[in-house]
Amino acid sequence: MSIQTGMNNTLVIIPTYNEIDNIEAIIKAVFKQSADIHILIVDDNSPDLTALKVKELQKLFVNRLFLIERAEKAGLGTAYIEGFKWSLKSGYEFIFEMDADFSHNPDDIIKLYHACSEEGADVAIGSRYVKGVNVVNWPLGRVLLSYLASKYVRLITGMNIHDTTAGFICYKRAVLESIELDTIKFIGYAFQIEMKFKAYLKKCNIVEIPVIFTDRTRGESKLSSGIISEAIFGVISMKLKSLIKK
């Protein structure tokens, strides 16, 4: 095989808020995976001028690095929805969700891509909880919260997925086309759950690929208690609505 990985028509969407310490390194690490990958950054007017750095890098990565600038911090969920719409309009086949903070290892992109391009997956999840708990450097409280949240979601929704709040995902274009993106309501962790639940209701083939998740070493987490309660109550209301609709 040549160096070309054949990752055609692939877009990695990275939402950013104050990621100046990570942005350049993450963009370069993703582009290193394949000459064919494109990146879309969705930045919410980060006060640390993350977007300005992206614009500088655009001169280096012409027609491969794209940027959507939004006026204010409006949550990761709505950032992805804008990114998804842009990706569909632009004709990409394989569309990734990925964080800017290196919690998701760019070297794993290829595994998720292959699951979708060759192994029949519609959605490939970079999963922390397939075999035990593959999380490095998270405080125990965060690990427990995330792990128990995943169990809770599995119990309530009935989805056979271990890592329901994972945010490292490859979608086939058809999945995003089939989900009514404007009906996605949640913005934090619940957004990740809701996307998986919508794909599950559409009977998509969802597979989990084991990955190791590492806590960020630079910049700050944007997790808030509002995001957690959105997830706890959101999951129940989401399930109830799906039952009523049947």
| Site for Mg ion, rule CB under 5 A | 99, 101, 103, 216
Shortest distance, position 102 Cβ to Mg ion, whole Å: 9
Which entry of Mg ion, ligand GDP, none binds 77, CB below 5 to 8 A by partner kind? none
CB 67 within 8 A of CB 43: yes
Residue where the block lists tokens 């709040």: 165
Residue 64 partner contact from ligand GDP, Mg ion, none using kind-dependent CB cut-offs of 5 to 8 Å: none
Indicate the helix (H) or strand (E) that contains 69.
strand 65-69
Q: Which does 191 bind (CB under 5 to 8 A by kind): Mg ion, ligand GDP, none?
A: none
Closest contact distance (angstroms) between CB of 100 and ligand GDP is 3
**C-alpha distance from residue 164 to each of 115, 173, 228 (Å):** 18, 20, 14
Q: Which is nearer to ligand GDP, 15 or 121 (CB)?
A: 15
β-strands 38-43, 123-127 pairing: unpaired
Nearer to ligand GDP, 44 or 208 (CB): 44
Order of strands across the sheet that contains 94-97: 65-69, 38-43, 10-16, 94-97, 169-172, 123-127, 206-210
Binding site for ligand GDP (CB under 6 A): 15-17, 19, 42-44, 73-76, 79, 99-101, 103, 216, 221-223
**How many residues in the chain?**
246
Whole-number minimum distance, CB 222 to ligand GDP, in Å? 4
- List the structure tokens of 41: 């950054």
Provide the minimum distance between the beta carbon of 166 and ligand GDP in the complex, in angstroms, as a whole number.
Answer: 11
Which residue number, 43 or 208, has a Cβ lying nearer to ligand GDP? 43
Q: Which residue is nearest to ligand GDP (CB)?
A: 221
Give the integer Cα–Cα distance in Å for 9 and 125. Answer: 19
Nearer to ligand GDP among residue 97 and residue 208 (C-beta): 97
Instruction: Estimate to the nearest angstrom the gap between the alpha carbon of 179 and the chain centroid.
Output: 16
Q: Which is nearer to Mg ion, 73 or 216 (by Cβ)?
A: 216
Residue 139 CB, shortest distance to ligand GDP, in Å, is: 11
Closest separation between CB of residue 150 and ligand GDP, Å? 13
Out of Mg ion, ligand GDP, none, which partner does residue 51 contact, by CB within 5 to 8 A per kind? none
Contacts of 241 (CB under 8 A, 6+ apart): none
Return the one option of ligand GDP, Mg ion, none that residue 44 interacts with (CB less than 5 to 8 A, by type). ligand GDP
Q: Smallest gap, in angstroms, from Cβ of residue 135 to Mg ion?
A: 11
Q: What is the DSSP letter of 152?
A: H
- CA distances to 51, 101, 197 from 83, in Å: 15, 18, 19
Q: Residue 17: which of Mg ion, ligand GDP, none does it interact with, CB under 5 to 8 A by kind?
A: ligand GDP
**Is there a contact between 154 and 164 (Cβ–Cβ < 8 Å)?**
yes
